[in-house]
Amino acid sequence: MGTNYDVVIVGGGPAGMMAAASAAAHGASVQLLEKNDQLGRKMLITGGGRCNLTNRADVAEMVANIPGNGKFVYSSLHRFSGQDLRNFFKRLGLATKVEDHGRVFPISDKAQDVVNALTKHLHQLGVRISLGTGVTSLMVENNHCRGVMVGETVIRAKAVVLATGGVSYPRTGSTGEGHKMAERVGHHVTKLFPAAVAITCTDPWIVQREVQGLSLANVNITVFNSRDKRLATETGDIIFTHWGLSGPGALRVGRAVALERQREPDAPIRGALDLFPTRSSEELARELGKLAQAAPKKSVKNLLIMLVPERLVKVLLELAGMPPETPGGPLNKTQLAKLADLLKALPVHIKGTRPIEEATVTGGGVNIKEIDPRTMGSKLIRGLFFAGEILDVDAHTGGFNMQVAFSTGYVAGEAAALFVKETLD
């Protein structure tokens, strides 16, 4: 195990790999330590194995999509933006493309190509990559991080970047060891919670498999606490599962549900699904009325099928207390309004979220108050830098978390290299 590297990077995910590339490009000799026997295991499963490496959004829009301390990474996103990342990969020979919601993927649709391009680049820069190397602690002397320990083995360095990720999907290697290492040298870790996570519901029509597997595009989903305070409203596709709601729309409100559950473990949380976010309740009632007038004998069930999937129609009519075969013609204004209101605010009863191990992203992490946002450097320990999901920063899905990892990695690597240059010992 070499001991003469300027910068040691702990963790070979997107944050660690970019930190290694950046530190090396800024003149440092670099060793990258990854406990798995391969780099970027989590990256490989993003975007359904295609690697959603960033988003086309500009910096302001990126920050708006980072509900967990987005402002903290503003300067990193400026220093190394989504466009910078795409240019970076272009220089490495990896072309990218933009898909729906601005999500960026490699043109080949293969996550492995992204990891391969990064790995090749690291080799070209002379980064030493040590796989199967699980770091156990940071070495700190006189408030200066001077390396790491791998079991009994000492790896000395002039600066260390900790990029060990969060605690979600632990089988990918992100098991929270970095948080513990940071705590042992005096940093604080805010309470961890599942972010970008699916929601569990108690409604029999959802959990008893009536609608399991059904997906709805561009739904507005709002969640309220027990005092009817609105916790979040988000738009996106949702999928009904046998335990609740998944899909990007549900994931976007998942963090608000998780935080409320931490505050009030047993209080009811309710949700409302707006199936037609661009239309008012009155418009929908009018449309239903027109459809009913055009075919007065048609059952209300068959009228609704013209607006929503059949499996959901059954649920809507049960909730409205209307027998499915009721003819649409005689429906009065109150009945039409009732149906329209259900289309605009289909009620769901929320139990909580799926566990943090199944969350796409970990909320909470190393306290950002203890980190300089311009360098990602520790304010407590000299020569210690942080990057990626280990930080108390979490974003919506759509490429924003990956960009946070790459941007903070870039900044941390650059700052670590500069720190080494400026440190004369």
Ligand X SMILES: Cc1cc2nc3c(=O)[nH]c(=O)nc-3n(C[C@H](O)[C@H](O)[C@H](O)COP(=O)(O)OP(=O)(O)OC[C@H]3O[C@@H](n4cnc5c(N)ncnc54)[C@H](O)[C@@H]3O)c2cc1C
Q: For residue 121, which amino acid is it? A: H
CB atoms within 10 A of CB 419: 21
Q: Is 392 in the site for ligand X (CB under 6 A)?
A: no
Q: Is 33 in the site for ligand X (CB under 6 A)?
A: yes
Query: Which residues are paired to 55 by β-bridges?
Result: 103
How far is Cα 111 from Cα 117, in angstroms, rounded to an integer? 10
The tokens for 24 are 């090396």
Contact yes or no for 183/381 (Cβ under 8 A):
no
Can you tell me which of 29, 220, 401, 407 binds ligand X, judged by CB under 6 A? 401
Can you tell me which of 29, 65, 96, 164 binds ligand X, judged by CB under 6 A? 164
Which stretch of DSSP H or E encloses residue 380? none
Dihedral angle of Cα 62, 68, 71, 73, to the nearest 10 degrees? -70
Q: For residue 273, which amino acid is it? A: L
Q: Of 281-340, which residues contact ligand X (CB under 6 A)?
A: none
Query: Which residues are paired to 382 by β-bridges?
Result: 144
Can you tell me which of 46, 76, 246, 335 binds ligand X, judged by CB under 6 A? 46
Q: Is 247 in the site for ligand X (CB under 6 A)?
A: no
How far is Cα 181 from Cα 190, in angstroms, rounded to an integer? 14
Least separation in angstroms between residue 111's CB and ligand X is 10
Q: For residue 227, which amino acid is it? A: R
Residues in contact with ligand X, total (CB under 6 A)? 39
With CA atoms as reference, report the closest residue to 214 among 141, 275, 266.
275
Can you tell me which of 35, 158, 187, 301 binds ligand X, judged by CB under 6 A? 35
Least separation in angstroms between residue 21's CB and ligand X is 13
With CA atoms as reference, report the closest residue to 244 among 309, 300, 197.
197
Q: Is 36 in the site for ligand X (CB under 6 A)?
A: yes
Q: Is 119 in the site for ligand X (CB under 6 A)?
A: no
Can you tell me which of 12, 289, 328, 363 binds ligand X, judged by CB under 6 A? 12
Can you tell me which of 94, 104, 197, 361 binds ligand X, judged by CB under 6 A? 361
Q: Is 5 in the site for ligand X (CB under 6 A)?
A: no
Least separation in angstroms between residue 46's CB and ligand X is 4
The tokens for 330 are 């005689």
Can you tell me which of 397, 411, 412, 417 binds ligand X, judged by CB under 6 A? 397
Query: Which residues are paired to 347 by β-bridges?
Result: 272
Q: Is 179 in the site for ligand X (CB under 6 A)?
A: no
Residues making contact with ligand X (CB under 6 A): 10-16, 33-36, 41-43, 45-47, 52, 134-135, 163-165, 168-169, 173-174, 177-178, 360-361, 388-389, 397, 399-402, 405
